[in-house]
Structure 1
């Protein structure tokens, strides 16, 4: 979740006003603060390598006749140097609190223009409008390529490898693990980001940059909700893919691996109770699994149990929701939905924010099979 006070969480359960402005950074320097930010939109998707993109127009009134329209690499809003931080301020009565929606890399300036007026017989710029498109900070790692294939060290921590590869802050959200064998990260377009995303999978989830500019790993399993979304009278809920498909529901996993000397390793995990028991009417549905990251029997046992748990939890479906704006939630958060015909708890896979008082989200909800 985005940083906030307990009082703000309470305010968001009622009526409130909101306003969005932008701060502009060049490197670590904040060169513009609290400028008007109009026609903005921010779309996030946990399934994309670069999880978020957006757009918006910076509107700036000039007091000295200077223009904000960038020219090539020149200008504080040039995509060659600019970062944008949209900030939403929530007001309710005497209460007021600002929430940073994150800092993003400006990727392009689709259009820009100045408003000119005659002052003292000469034309001067009185205002500038600059349209921006921007991406979340995974884009920095996508752009930063390896000069040659890089090799990790066997037994290095997955989180420490993410820190090494990105040079960015990391917030540990799941237990750390050791990378059990030497990994070679390819020198290719987007190879560094691919490496970080693979390390996220090794950690049991999806690696993403959060609103504080830190790498986190969103776990695959749905935990306890951290926020509640309000449906309201104008809200809508569409349940997508509610059909039941057993093709991907395995109740037995057989793993075949090799240790460091090439000796075969085997491991089996099975469901032995409940409706998915291998002894029950569902029967036996076997999946075979192998990985070059497994080098010991203990790792093999953990791997097949993890794959089995993933299979049982694979019966998930998406719920598309339009609800009241809540600027605190971001992709990866587990939320509850209030005001629907039955309780819903799911992980946010997609979040779309804009000028609208409503937001659109996609919740991935697990179907209970055991």
Structure 2
């Protein structure tokens, strides 16, 4: 969740007003603060390489008559140098609190214009309107390539390697694990981000940059809810609880690996009891798995059993929800939904925000199978 006070949680359960502004940074320096931001939207998807993207228009009336329209690499808003921090301010009565939605890299300026007026015989800029497109900070690592194939540090853990590869803060949201062998990261387009995403999978989840600018692992294991979303009278839920899909319910996992000498070995995990047993009416549904980070029989047996447990423990399905805006939640958060006909708890896989009073989210819900 994004940083906030306890009082704000109470305010979000009732009626409130909201406003979005942006702060503009060039490097570590904040060049503009609290600038009006119009026609904005932001979309986050845990399944994308670069998790979040968005757009909007900066509207600013300069007191000194200067223009905010960038020219090439020059100007505070030039995509060659600008970072933006959207900030949502919530107001209710005498209460007011601002929530940072995170830091984003400006990727392009699709349009820009100045409004001018004659003042004391000369034309001056009275307002600038600059359109921006922006991406979350995974984009920095996606753009930063290896100069040549690079080997992981001997004895490093997965989080150590993420720190080394990105040079960014890391929040350890799951248990760290040692890298079982030296790993060579390939020098290719997007190779550095590929390496970080692979390390996220080694840690049992998805690697993303959160609203505090730190790498975090969103665990595949759904925990307890950290927030409650309000459906409201105009909210909608596309619930597919009655839909059953067995294609991804595997009751047998076969792992194919190599030891440190390059010799192949195999690990197998199977369901042998209950309605999903391989010799029962469901039959066998086999998944194949491999990882070059597994180099011993014990590691292989543990890996395939983990994949099997995740498959038979639950069936996951996505629920599309339109609900009241809650600026505190991010993709990966586990949330509960209030106001629906049955209890609904799941992990946010997608979050779409805009200037409206409602936001659209995709919640991944688990149905227990065993």
Per-residue deviation at 1:312?
1.8
Match of 2:302 in 1: 302
Is 2:266–2:297's contact at 8 Å kept on the other side of the alignment?
yes
Per-residue deviation at 1:271?
3.2
SS at match of 1:160: helix
Match of 2:348 in 1: 348
Query: Which 5+ residue runs of structure 1 have no aligned equivalent?
Result: none
Cα gap change, 1:236/1:265 in structure 2, threshold over 3 Å: closer, same or farther?
same
Is 1:36–1:60's contact at 8 Å kept on the other side of the alignment?
yes
* Match status 1:177 vs 2:177: yes
SS at match of 1:73: coil
Output the CA distance in 1 between the equivalents of 2:208 and 2:21. Answer: 25
Match of 1:328 in 2: 328
Is 1:154–1:183's contact at 8 Å kept on the other side of the alignment?
no
Match of 2:157 in 1: 157
Output the CA distance in 2 between the equivalents of 1:166 and 1:222. Answer: 27
Size of the aligned set, in residue pairs, is 370
Match of 1:246 in 2: 246
RMSD (CA atoms) = 1.7
Match of 2:87 in 1: 87
TM-score, length-normalised on structure 1? 0.95
Per-residue deviation at 1:274?
4.0
Alignment of 1:48-197 (within 5 A): 48-197=48-197
Is 2:153–2:161's contact at 8 Å kept on the other side of the alignment?
no
Please identify, of 40-49 and 245-254, the stretch whose mean Cα deviation from structure 2 is larger.
Answer: 245-254
Is 2:314–2:369's contact at 8 Å kept on the other side of the alignment?
no
Cα gap change, 1:96/1:271 in structure 2, threshold over 3 Å: closer, same or farther?
same
Alignment of 1:354-365 (within 5 A): 354-365=354-365
Output the CA distance in 1 between the equivalents of 2:74 and 2:235. Answer: 44
Per-residue deviation at 1:280?
4.9
Is 1:108–1:132's contact at 8 Å kept on the other side of the alignment?
yes
Per-residue deviation at 1:220?
1.0
Output the CA distance in 2 between the equivalents of 1:102 and 1:188. Answer: 28
Cα gap change, 1:271/1:19 in structure 2, threshold over 3 Å: closer, same or farther?
same
Is 1:152–1:183's contact at 8 Å kept on the other side of the alignment?
yes
TM-score, length-normalised on structure 2? 0.95
Per-residue deviation at 1:284?
4.2
Output the CA distance in 1 between the equivalents of 2:154 and 2:296. Answer: 13
